[in-house]
Amino acid sequence: MNKKKWTFVSLMFALILALAACSDSSSNEADGSSGGSDGDAKLDIFSWWTGAGEEDGLNALIELFQEKHPDVEVENAAVAGGAGTNAKAVLASRMQGDDPPATFQVHGGAELNEGWVAAGKMEPLNDLYEEEGWEDKFPQDLIDLVSKDGDIYSVPVNIHRGNVLWYNTKVFEENGIDVPTTFDEFFEAADKLKAAGVTPLALGDKEPWTATHLFETVLLGELGIDNYNALFNGELSFSDDQVVAAVETFKKMLGYVNEDHSSRNWQDASQLVANGEAAMNVMGDWAKGYFVNDLELTVKEDFGWTETPGTDGQFMVVTDTFGLPKGVSNPDDVKKFLSVLGSVEGQDAFNTLKGSIPARKDADVSKYDEYGKETIEDFNEAKLAPSLAHGSAAAEGFLTKVNQAVNIFVTQQDTEQFIDSLEQAASELK
């Protein structure tokens, strides 16, 4: 189609939409609604939430939205597999092909800001935050994670905590194990468990991110939050003695994991703890959702938790967010969905099923179990550290190289080589 014809068609299409809007305006004003769907476009909500708990939470959120906006057709466009790897590949293809979903799941921090925002693919949402009065409803540190150059680009729907040590309460009781809070206490417990024939620490690193997840909690525990953050803004070198010490601690921890770790995923590692074959597992609190929803375990009775060694008062934050991609045909509908997603009602509908906690500071705490109540309190009081393994601390290029380096280290355990690899990867941070 030549340029003149395309221009004519575009003008005619705009005119048709304008006439349609005019013809509907009287009925919209009469029933108090804010307008219907933008054309016939579906609100396709793109995520990787297909597992138990997370899928239930998403469906509850969609159901709530459809109750409020029955005129908007919704499509759950979730892509299964690979802990988001498959979905991210599909998303990249769509975004590069100028076929963005109406809205999509993205981790707050570098994954959002250094990825899609830096590429010019997202619309700012300052106006939505102002309309909804959200500026003081989300913690400022969290708003900063979804902002770049003074503009806000997504709405957090949840908060997961990454620095959690899960343990089998019966195994601890039977072996007289005190809950470890420091690395020295952890290794003392691990030696006692190993002598009793119990695998001290379950690991499932069939997928590359899980070993990186364990490593980042060790970094946080050894460095503290300020130096941890300094690694990713270039103020602290990965060859620093503190990082070397963290790598040696990580190496020592790997001496206590299950031998078949490379053939297991994170759910399998959690299963080992649930069965009592292993005593502990370091994983984000989506593991709690797995324990409760899939394995039907009871909080505190069958499993317990604490912060990973050395991280008391610190909160490794993983936040799932949704924004408004540029070029979508139904931006008003997207904003309606984001309004529901960011509301108290929406956050409680989603997070009580997902196993996460709400991103808002004013959610209904009574709706959450004992773990949720404790974590909400910690989130409101603790210092927040962005997760590296889940895309918040650094851009994808750096994370990809770190995942490769970590997984080589798990196999070869060469500290000098690992530090060199981290230093080389750090060029991605500049």
Assigned domain for 225 exists: yes
Label residue 49 exposed, middle or buried (CB < 10 Å: 0-12, 13-18, 19+). buried
Same domain flag for 257 and 331: no
Same domain flag for 166 and 240: yes
Assigned domain for 29 exists: no
The phi and psi torsions of 363 (rounded to 5 degrees) equal -70, 165
Q: What are the tokens at 137?
A: 């409803």
Assigned domain for 88 exists: yes
pLDDT by residue (tens digit) across 402-417?
999 999 999 999 999 9
pLDDT by residue (tens digit) across 144-185?
999 999 999 999 999 999 999 999 999 999 999 999 999 999
Is residue 10 over pLDDT 80? no
Q: What are the tokens at 418?
A: 């690992």
Any idea which of 13-22, 31-40, 261-270, 313-322 has the lowest mean pLDDT? 13-22
Same domain flag for 251 and 324: no
**Contact call for residues 312 and 235 (beta carbons, < 8 A):** no
Any idea which of 34-38, 164-168, 295-299 has the lowest mean pLDDT? 34-38
Determine the pLDDT at residue 214.
Answer: 98
Is residue 283 over pLDDT 80? yes
Same domain flag for 331 and 306: no
- 83 — pLDDT class (breaks 50, 70, 90): low
The phi and psi torsions of 309 (rounded to 5 degrees) equal -50, 130
pLDDT by residue (tens digit) across 348-384?
999 998 889 999 999 889 999 999 999 999 998 898 9
Any idea which of 65-79, 163-177, 309-323, 350-364 has the lowest mean pLDDT? 350-364
Sign of CA dihedral 133, 313, 54, 329: positive
Determine the pLDDT at residue 261.
Answer: 98
Same domain flag for 275 and 415: yes
Mean pLDDT, rounded, for 61-69: 98
Determine the pLDDT at residue 429.
Answer: 79
Label residue 406 exposed, middle or buried (CB < 10 Å: 0-12, 13-18, 19+). buried
Paired residues of 257 in beta bridges? 201
**424 vs 343: CA distance, rounded Å:** 43
Same domain flag for 273 and 358: no
Q: What is the mean pLDDT of the chain?
A: 90
**371 vs 93: CA distance, rounded Å:** 38
Assigned domain for 27 exists: no
Choosing from 359, 379, 399, the residue where a domain stops is 379
Share of the chain above pLDDT 70, in %: 90
Same domain flag for 230 and 337: no
Q: What are the tokens at 90?
A: 């599909």
Is residue 36 over pLDDT 50? no
**Contact call for residues 209 and 381 (beta carbons, < 8 A):** no
Any idea which of 116-120, 247-251, 352-356 has the lowest mean pLDDT? 352-356
Choosing from 379, 402, 419, the residue where a domain stops is 379
**325 vs 23: CA distance, rounded Å:** 28
Question: At 277, which amino acid appears?
Answer: E
Is residue 3 over pLDDT 60? no
Determine the pLDDT at residue 4.
Answer: 36
Report how far Cα 391 is from the mean position of its chain's Cα atoms.
8
DSSP-derived secondary structure letter, 427: G
Same domain flag for 289 and 365: no
Same domain flag for 328 and 367: yes
Same domain flag for 344 and 309: no
**406 vs 389: CA distance, rounded Å:** 11
Q: What total of structural domains would you count in the chain?
A: 2
Assigned domain for 290 exists: yes
Mean pLDDT, rounded, for 268-273: 97
The phi and psi torsions of 202 (rounded to 5 degrees) equal -85, 135
| CA distance to 23, 82, 357, 365, 424, per residue, from 360 (Å) | 39, 29, 9, 11, 38
Same domain flag for 8 and 132: yes
Choosing from 346, 362, 379, the residue where a domain stops is 379
Q: In the chain, what's the furthest Cα-to-Cα distance? A: 81
Assigned domain for 141 exists: yes
**Contact call for residues 382 and 81 (beta carbons, < 8 A):** no
CATH code of the domain covering residue 270? 3.40.190.10
Is residue 34 over pLDDT 50? no
- 430 — pLDDT class (breaks 50, 70, 90): low
Contacts 24+ apart (CB under 8 A), 417-422: 418/247, 419/238, 419/239, 419/243, 419/244, 419/247, 422/238, 422/239, 422/243
Q: What are the tokens at 328?
A: 């979508």
**Contact call for residues 91 and 104 (beta carbons, < 8 A):** yes
Mean pLDDT, rounded, for 312-327: 96
Q: Which domain holds residue 338?
A: 3-18+39-158+319-379
Assigned domain for 34 exists: no
Determine the pLDDT at residue 116.
Answer: 97
Same domain flag for 80 and 70: yes
CA atoms within 13 A on the CB side of 386: 26
Is residue 40 over pLDDT 70? no
SS3 state of residue 425: helix
For the beta carbon of residue 423, count every other beta carbon within 10 angstroms. Answer: 14
Assigned domain for 237 exists: yes
**291 vs 257: CA distance, rounded Å:** 20
